[in-house]
């Protein structure tokens, strides 16, 4: 199996599973506790149906939309995800280059294995930075100021990770950052020599944006969950979010909003966007799926701010359903991480091409000339 055999999300997942050591694969694949929310994120899209209009003379549909002050060529972009060097030795560089090629947003995690400056130097495409509030406030300020200097277009503050979720697969498979050999993981690493050689012969693993502030999580074997619990500020408040919005001064999203009241509060403190997200089902298990919350939140704040749906996206039809219910755009994480593990930059380009093709084809079949025509008339809940 190789990239040319990958036609959908499941195919990229299978190839990534073949290429990656088990602890690394399951870190992407897993969720928290019983992984109920992880499953619901995608299942929620099956509760409704698209209603096509015929003889609409669509021609070549316009997939573009504007988000974070930038026009992007299709209404989906790469969610911020940590430690991409674990999945391919080019890591964030591969993702950033692929996103630029498709003229959509690449998003960088605070816990990236490439630095803000490195990505700025290799990509001229639209870029978003994902911020966490650290206990060391000077680190938070430093990240904001460096993104300004490096020309990032937008920023989001992730608010649903004040403590780490209970990701039992990580314990079961012995996942740590950087990876270390245990009796459980040794066989899996040995059975993936190409990954091991690339990991050992390329640039050393480190959390590039914070390594000059702290060695935790980079130069010592420290689990990512321990890093979150030790470094992130569990007392983060709306005041902290408002401070970051003002210090940044450009398009800013609150990521992890799931309630109507929080959406309204985000608008009140000056956020230009919200990202409906439960962290891919990796934090509070049993929480609502973003798609299930979208209609009510769109009714409450639609028109006042941009709404990004993040979670469970597997198909172009999922994107069209989200936009029909009021989302400005969608973002996805697992989909492109599996593609990154399957084939590096070429893999990410392949999954973006698949998504673009699906969205385009499905818009033609739906009878829509532009994403602006997507509205509640296009969708019915059973």
Catalytic amino acids?
279
Q: Which whole-number Å values give the CA distances from 372 to 52, 326, 327, 354, 378, in the listed order?
A: 15, 10, 11, 21, 12
What is the DSSP pairing of strand 65-67 with strand 273-276?
unpaired
| Residue 330 β-bridge partners | 76, 309
Cis preceding-peptide flag for 178 (omega within 30 of 0): yes
Q: Find tokens 């009140």 and name the residue.
A: 268
| Residue 308 near residue 330 (C-beta atoms within 8 A) | yes
- Choose among 79, 82, 88: nearest CA to 41: 79
| Residue 35 near residue 282 (C-beta atoms within 8 A) | no
How buried is 116 (Cβ within 10 angstroms: 0-12 exposed, 13-18 middle, 19+ buried)?
buried
**DSSP states along 53-108:** -SS----S-B--EEETTEEESSSEEEPPBS-GGGT-TTHHHHHHHHHHHTT--EEE
SS (H, E, C) 291-316: HHHHHHHHHHHECCEEEEEECCCCCH
Sheet holding 106-109, edge to edge: 76-78, 329-332, 306-310, 273-276, 252-257, 154-158, 127-131, 106-109
Q: Find tokens 């109920």 and name the residue.
A: 36
Other CB atoms within 10 Å distance of the CB of residue 49: 13
- Choose among 101, 140, 92, 85: nearest CA to 120: 92
Provide the 3-class DSSP secondary structure of residue 321. helix
Provide the 3-class DSSP secondary structure of residue 345. helix
């Amino acid at each position: 199996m190789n990239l040319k055999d990958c036609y959908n999300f499941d195919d990229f997942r299978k190839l990534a599973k073949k290429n990656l050591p088990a602890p690394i694969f399951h870190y992407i694949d897993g969720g928290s506790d019983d992984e109920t929310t992880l499953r619901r994120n995608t299942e929620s899209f099956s509760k409704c149906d698209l209603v096509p209009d015929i003889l609409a003379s669509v021609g070549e549909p316009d997939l573009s939309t504007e988000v974070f002050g930038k026009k992007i060529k299709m209404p989906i972009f790469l969610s911020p995800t940590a430690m991409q060097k674990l999945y391919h030795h080019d890591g964030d560089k591969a993702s950033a280059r692929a996103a630029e090629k498709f003229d959509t947003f690449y998003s960088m995690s605070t816990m990236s294995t490439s630095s803000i400056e490195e990505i700025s130097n290799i990509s001229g495409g639209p870029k978003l930075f994902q911020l966490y509030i650290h206990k060391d406030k000077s680190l938070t300020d430093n990240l904001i100021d460096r993104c300004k200097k490096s020309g990032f277009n937008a920023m989001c503050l992730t608010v649903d990770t004040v403590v780490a979720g209970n990701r039992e697969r990580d314990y079961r498979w012995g996942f740590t950052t950087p990876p270390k050999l245990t009796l459980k993981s040794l066989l899996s690493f040995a059975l993936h020599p190409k990954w091991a050689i690339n990991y050992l012969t390329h640039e050393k693993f480190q959390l590039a944006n914070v390594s000059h502030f702290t060695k935790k999580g980079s130069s010592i074997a420290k689990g990512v969950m321990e890093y979150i619990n030790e470094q992130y500020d569990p007392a983060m408040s709306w005041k902290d979010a408002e401070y970051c919005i003002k210090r940044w001064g450009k398009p800013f999203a609150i990521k992890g909003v799931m309630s109507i009241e929080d959406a309204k509060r985000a608008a009140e403190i000056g956020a230009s966007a919200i990202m409906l997200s439960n962290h891919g089902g990796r934090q509070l298990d049993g929480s609502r799926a973003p798609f299930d919350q979208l209609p009510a939140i769109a009714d409450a704040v639609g028109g006042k701010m941009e709404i990004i749906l993040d979670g469970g996206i597997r198909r172009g039809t999922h994107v069209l359903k989200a936009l029909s219910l009021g989302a400005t755009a969608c973002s996805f994480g697992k989909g492109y991480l599996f593609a990154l593990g399957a084939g590096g930059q070429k893999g990410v380009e392949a999954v973006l091409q698949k998504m673009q093709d699906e969205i385009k084809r499905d818009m033609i079949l739906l009878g829509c000339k532009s994403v602006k025509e997507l509205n509640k008339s296009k969708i019915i809940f059973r």
